[in-house]
Structure 1
Amino acid sequence: MLARDIRALRKARGMTLADTAARLDRSVGWLSQVERGLSQPSLGDLRALANVFSVPLGLFFAHDTPRPEERGVIVRAGSRRALGTSESGLVEELLSPDLGGSFELIRSEFAPGAELVEEARRDTEEAGYVVCGRFDIEIGGTWHSLGEGDSFRFKGKPFRWRNPGSVPAVVIWAVSPPVY
């Protein structure tokens, strides 16, 4: 799974093996072996990869190894990969089995009062569904207040978010191509 995820992240960012290897100060051959599962990167290598791809280090660690018939198909609730910490006000879990598909599905839990102050912009198409709580999202300069059952979609526009409520807001988020 790690090998597929590294390859998927590189491809989603439009990076070549040579570009990525150069940014890691590693050989193309080493990176190719890692992407094919023939070599295991060290913790230092994983930190460097997380930095190059701008993803949390925890993305590279799975909780449990799925049964062979479920690998790449099923993610059990207790086996989701956590992508954030409660200190940031945002905890995300990868709901997709891996990053090899054309999109990723994420469960995002926003703490009361949490907000993304600086605009983010990704070369992606994104959609979300508010499971519970209040969730405000600014898309392309316009704020939208959402509640339980509301949804949104945007493509390549700058966005910010905040939880104006007093309880956590949970949003199921789809992103294409995968960015984590």
Structure 2
Amino acid sequence: MPGYYTRRWFMMYRAMIDPAIGALLAGAFALLFIGAALQKLRSPERFAELFRAYRVVPDGVARLSWLVPVLELTTGAGLLAGGSRAGACAVGAALLLSYAAAMAINLQRGRRDLACGCGAPGERRAIAEWMVWRNLLLAAVLAAMLLPWRTRAMTGADALTIGAGTAVAALLYMSVDRLLGRVAPGNALLRGAP
């Protein structure tokens, strides 16, 4: 009877997920990816230099660093469009996992002086273990968004919840990111580093 219980659990789990929560998360992740892409597009040379500094791909592939902000923009737009949300979640999770892997590899190599590329424009924060965990957690949330969502009519209250919730999620993310960037062990601001 394992099939029966698996189906029953899945149906219960599916019924618990509200589409307003999915839209809220999609909006928050869209802001994250579009903001990250715009930051990279403001200074493509700096990002290309940072991308090469990680030394996780051959130089020939590193020349394609311009694809990263394109993928981030596409992911952000896809999260906002209902029909492409599943693909955008998968691509977004893959991007976050690749960022986590690149940071973890360089931390393992002892290269803690690399800039993460995830701060505000002009800010260069060194990579740290908490950033790896942050990206893994964000990837897990995006992967969870691949689960089917319950369908129901959206109301005005849902629109208010989605808008306000997205704003709160974005502000909370930025606040926690800034706080951890200042107090987490081994984290430092780099001056003049790529």
TM-score computed with the length of structure 1 as normaliser: 0.31
State the structure with bigger RCO (CA 8 A, min sep 6), 1 or 2.
2
Larger radius of gyration: 2
Higher helix share: 2
TM-score computed with the length of structure 2 as normaliser: 0.30
